[in-house]
Amino acid sequence: MDLFFEGGTVRTLDPERPPAEQQLAVRAGVIAAAPAPDARRVELGGRCVIPGFADAHVHFPTWSLGLRQARLEGARSRDEALERVEGALAQVPAGGWLRGLGWREGDWPEPPELAALDRVTGAVPTALMSKDYHSLWVNSAALERADEPLELPGGVVERDAAGRPAGILRENSAWSFRDRYVRPTLEEMVEASREGMRIAAARGVTALHDKDGWLGSFEVHQRLLADDELLARVWQSLPWERLDELAALGIRSGFGNDMLRLGYLKGFMDGTLGSATALLLDGSGVEITSSAALAELVRRAARAGWPVAVHAIGDGANRSALDAFEATRDDWQPRGLRPRIEHAQLLAPEEFQRFAEIGVTASVQFSHAPSDRDLADRLWEGRRGAYAYRSLAEAGALLANGSDAPVEELDPLAGIVAGVRRTLDERPPWRAEQALTLDEALRATCIAPAWLEHQEHRRGMLRPGMLADLVVLDRDPYECAPEQLGDLRVVATMVGGRWTHVDGDWQPE
């Protein structure tokens, strides 16, 4: 489809072109310097075209499944959460599990409790994942299904005074239980992801860095691709435990096509803020992977042609991860690999410049800052390096923005607003000195994720020769006051010249 956009504003994000243009040509799915003679005119009517949004950290099938589960986000007490669980019971098929997600005990005056959950759910096995995805609240019926020990290295099993499991599993214990007993079927994931793709497209998403490789999401995306229902380009992670298998097969990062590629290996250094398991420099928290173990993994991965992404929340975990990447730089840098630290939520001040010096991307989630502000102030009181995006940017670090959905909502515009305003509600900005400019937030959402994929010459900007991945907004965000950014609306989304979403109120053809 050859198109010629006019009558609005085009923000290319291309530093070699004017900040704003009035026209844009698309020929055969690629941005063109001039329109084809028979190009179809698209009247923007004052709207704005910008590069497509990428979500650099999303658990896509899990988020999609969550659209159909008990949702506990925002519950301000245990009783409110249990009311929602009770309301979801009617949707559980006979013999099935009640799944849910989104609770955060730091928001409640009383802790999650086995007996309280049992009173509501009875004999229906129930597993409720926390908002940060590092704790699992289960009932007695669920615990009765366990035919293997709950305790694992890097895991926590809370117990009552009599030594019995108290219904809360954390870190590796939570993930092992989930994977063994509560894992969704492939068909469930595919069906949910079909709906998820439509919603993501309506929010301007043209690319995803998916984190659900452990769950089999590559096969989910393959199914969607075969059915012509993969509406966003996917850069797929795989758990680093599969490195030997991938190396034996000779599969390297980048295997795939323009819509779906195997991208990088993912693992964990520590826990999270919400579960109080982030590894801090004072020694508190849970260490899942040591710096030495990460260094050895990075070396092996480099030989096999794989970049590594590692989850690190606490300042202790981030220092350990940076130490490992620095110690192995001669292994991965000459091979052109692009490592990343996921979240980087709490940093000692001396670590900011190390991201740029070593060449490690800070794969962050702007929405986490306003969402986590109360917990961070309480649990990390006095530590100024929390969600320090401005400090990272000024130190020269590359920021890539994602949502961490379903931990936060998959909504790039909301993430951009969070990065610029440091608030998503009526409260004043939280640590406003760490706010980014709109241009910085857009580049972290559009350009940096493409760079991590080695696709910076094909995506992320609206430059002639690049793929026509773009979003049409109802107005120019650069002309909006900061407090108006939250009112921006996605009108249409295009991937490679194909419309994946068009608002019913606008007819581009």
pLDDT number for residue 48 = 98
Q: Report the C-alpha gap between 263 and 256 in whole angstroms.
A: 9
The angle formed by the CA atoms of residues 472, 476 and 481, to the nearest 5 degrees, is: 140
The angle formed by the CA atoms of residues 131, 262 and 233, to the nearest 5 degrees, is: 75
CATH class of 3-51+466-502: mainly beta
- Mean per-residue pLDDT for 477-498? 96
Amino acid letter, residue 273: L
Contact 361, 339 (CB under 8 A): yes
To the nearest whole number, what is the mean pLDDT of the chain? 95
Residues 150-162: tens digit of each pLDDT: 999 989 999 999 9
Dihedral sign, CA of 182, 187, 191, 196? positive
pLDDT number for residue 1 = 78
Residues 176-202: tens digit of each pLDDT: 999 899 888 899 899 999 999 999 999
- Sheet with 165-171: list strands edge to edge: 70-71, 98-103, 126-130, 135-138, 165-171, 155-159
Domain with CATH 2.30.40.10 in the chain: 3-51+466-502
Residues 6 or more apart in contact with residue 470 via CB below 8 angstroms: 24, 49, 50, 51, 52, 206, 462, 493, 494
Would you tell me how many other CB atoms lie within 10 Å of the CB of residue 487? 11
Q: Which helix (H) or strand (E) holds 326?
A: helix 315-327
pTM for the whole thing? 0.88
Q: Report the C-alpha gap between 253 and 237 in whole angstroms.
A: 10
Contact 299, 330 (CB under 8 A): no
Q: State what percent of residues in the chain have pLDDT above 70.
A: 100
User: What is the CATH architecture assignment of 184-452?
Assistant: Alpha-Beta Barrel (3.20)
pLDDT number for residue 217 = 96
pLDDT number for residue 372 = 94
The owner of tokens 């009383």 is 110
Cis? peptide before 406, omega within 30° of 0: yes
* Distance (Å) of CA 34 to CA 3, 20, 41, 458, 498: 10, 17, 13, 18, 19
Cα–Cα nearest to 225, from 238, 239, 240, 210: 210
DSSP assigned state of 229:
-
- Mean per-residue pLDDT for 290-294? 98
Q: State what percent of residues in the chain have pLDDT above 90.
A: 88
Residue 91: pLDDT band by 50, 70, 90 thresholds? confident
Residues 436-447: tens digit of each pLDDT: 999 999 999 999
- Using only the alpha carbons of the chain, give its radius of gyration: 23
Is 385 a residue whose pLDDT tops 90?
yes
pLDDT number for residue 90 = 86
DSSP assigned state of 131:
T
pLDDT number for residue 69 = 85
By three-state DSSP, how is residue 301 classified?
helix
Domain with CATH 3.20.20.140 in the chain: 184-452
Residue 127: pLDDT band by 50, 70, 90 thresholds? very high
3-state secondary structure 275-293: CCCCCCCCCCCCECCCHHH
pLDDT number for residue 474 = 97
pLDDT number for residue 349 = 95
Q: Report the C-alpha gap between 18 and 15 in whole angstroms.
A: 7
pLDDT number for residue 183 = 86
- Mean per-residue pLDDT for 72-95? 91
In total, the chain counts a number of residues equal to 509
Given phi > 0 = left and psi -120 to 50 = alpha, else beta, which region is 12?
alpha
The owner of tokens 């990447």 is 325
pLDDT number for residue 72 = 93
Instruction: Estimate the share of the chain in helix, then strand, then coil, as percent rounded to the nearest 5.
Output: 35, 25, 40
- Mean per-residue pLDDT for 16-29? 93
Residues 50-70: tens digit of each pLDDT: 999 999 999 999 999 888 789
pLDDT number for residue 13 = 97
pLDDT number for residue 467 = 98
Residue 25, phi then psi, degrees to nearest 5: -110, 140
Residues 209-250: tens digit of each pLDDT: 999 999 899 999 999 999 999 999 999 999 999 999 999 999
Domain with CATH 3.10.310.70 in the chain: 70-181
Cα–Cα nearest to 206, from 375, 24, 459, 377: 459
pLDDT number for residue 232 = 98
CATH class of 70-181: alpha beta
